Amino acid sequence: MTREEKARLNSFVAKNVNMLLEEKGMTQRELAEKVGKSEAEVSRWLTGRNGFSKTAIARLSVALGHDITTRPVGLGTGGNTDNIVKHGNRKVALITGVTGQDGSYLSEFLLEKGYEVHGIIRRSSVDFRERIAHLEGRPNFHLHYADMSDSMSIVKVIDTVRPDEVYNLAAQSHVQVSFDSPEFTADVDAVGVLRVLEAVRACHLEQTCRIYQASTSELYGKVEQVPQNENTPFHPYSPYAVAKLYGFWIVKEYREAYNMFCCSGILFNHESERRGETFVTRKITLAAARIAQGHQDCLWLGNLSSLRDWGYAKDYVECMWLILQQDKPEDFVIATGVQHSVREFCYEAFKCAGITLEFSGEGLEEKGICVAGPKNLVGKTLVAVSEDFYRPTDVVNLWGDPTKAKAKLKWNPNKTSFEQLVELMVKHDMAKVAGEGAAMKVRTNLAEYLEKGIVR
């Protein structure tokens, strides 16, 4: 068999395996377990980048219940054939940080656009894939193990995937944590960006692969101009912001030094129901839900007067994609252009949970008191301030100017309003807390029954 014939056979078999996976609703992980291979190796099979040995064909045929060297029944010349033909022409995207809030939304967005999407995940004894669990098993969604602190693992994945677009979303993105773990933050958020850029060059993709770097409004830090745009001077005010500033400048340097299509999106705060529970917005919406349902007494926060430009993460991933579709690489501010305080976010969140707050006092003495809502909560202090949540250096006034993104990308930053965003998050967390409460009752009742010998 000639090299060309082998390549055609491998491509044919890979398409068959993808179709069978979709037909059976089997995930990539499940297939890997059935054939006794790693997910990374299965992913290389599914994308046609690894050849199929006789042993591999035999194992896969048994696992899928069909001879993978023959076209599955019903998929000869029917409607699905179009998808088979187009599969080889799909754009290929690689996402670091795929399990995060932005990574999960971006994966959904790109899959809807017809992309073949590959994501990087870290090896861990604990699995954190809940945000992308619903995507696993799709024929054009693949996962690979690598780590932002390990350049060789990044090179291997990029060489395997050969992406058209890379979205570097991976980061230690919690500002407060960066004060506690500054070295780790610098390694991942600063040098990690360099590792991605160098991996693309090492694989000789610098002229064909476009790179998006997720930057941050924290670069402006101790703000010198309000609102902030692409020309506003940077004044980073945390280890996280300093690390991200290196990432921003190294992207710019590689763009100019090597003529690479690499850009930074300077993202202002963007939230969603998938936001991590340690971030202040999610902390507020969860607390509002728990207090409303009797599972928490009070919410403790830091500076309630801090001002932020909050948007909906699902809207922001569209802008990331648009940035890489332009004729020339440029950096963009991604923001709503509307500013609110932490206090306002609290008020809206509790309002959505059926509680009206009234704030009084200043600084550490400020309190949010319930003036309307459930009778058992009226008159009680539900929001209070603790100096434990003040940062060593605090950024208090972030407000983005998305004029350039609106004009050049034709992007609508106000698709989801501030009030709609808060309502989405609270509605989700009300349901989450209600579910947790029901589960707790079941566990409590079961323990009681076991103790009394009712259930054995």
Token digits of residue 419: 């009030």
Spatial CA neighbour of 10 closest among 51, 70, 64, 39: 51
* Phi, psi of 62, rounded to the nearest 5 degrees: -65, -45
Task: Return the beta strands (E) in 373-417 as ranges.
Answer: 381-385
Catalytic residue among 47, 216, 232, 336: 216
**Contact 227/403 with Cβ under 8 angstroms?**
no
Catalytic residue among 105, 115, 237, 240: 240
For residue 318, the number of C-alpha atoms closer than 13 Å in the C-beta half-sphere is 16
> Is 281 assigned a catalytic role?
no
> Is 218 assigned a catalytic role?
yes
User: From residue 154, how far is each of 82, 119, 166 by CA, in Å?
Assistant: 33, 11, 12
Catalytic residue among 206, 218, 271, 348: 218
3-state helix, strand, coil in the chain (%, to 5): 45, 15, 40
Token digits of residue 121: 């995940």
**Contact 178/238 with Cβ under 8 angstroms?**
yes
Q: Coil, helix or strand for 28?
A: helix
- Taking each helix axis from N to C end, the angle separating 192-202 and 151-161, rounded to the nearest 10 degrees, works out to 40
The two beta strands, 299-301 and 332-334, are unpaired
> Is 240 assigned a catalytic role?
yes
Residues 6+ apart with CB under 8 A from 148: 96, 154, 170, 171, 187, 188, 192, 195, 196
User: From residue 165, how far is each of 92, 125, 134, 158 by CA, in Å?
Assistant: 7, 30, 23, 10
**Contact 218/236 with Cβ under 8 angstroms?**
yes
82: region left, alpha or beta (phi > 0 left; psi from -120 to 50 alpha): alpha
- Determine the number of helices (DSSP H) and then strands (DSSP E) in the chain: 16, 15
* Residues with a known catalytic role: 216, 218, 240
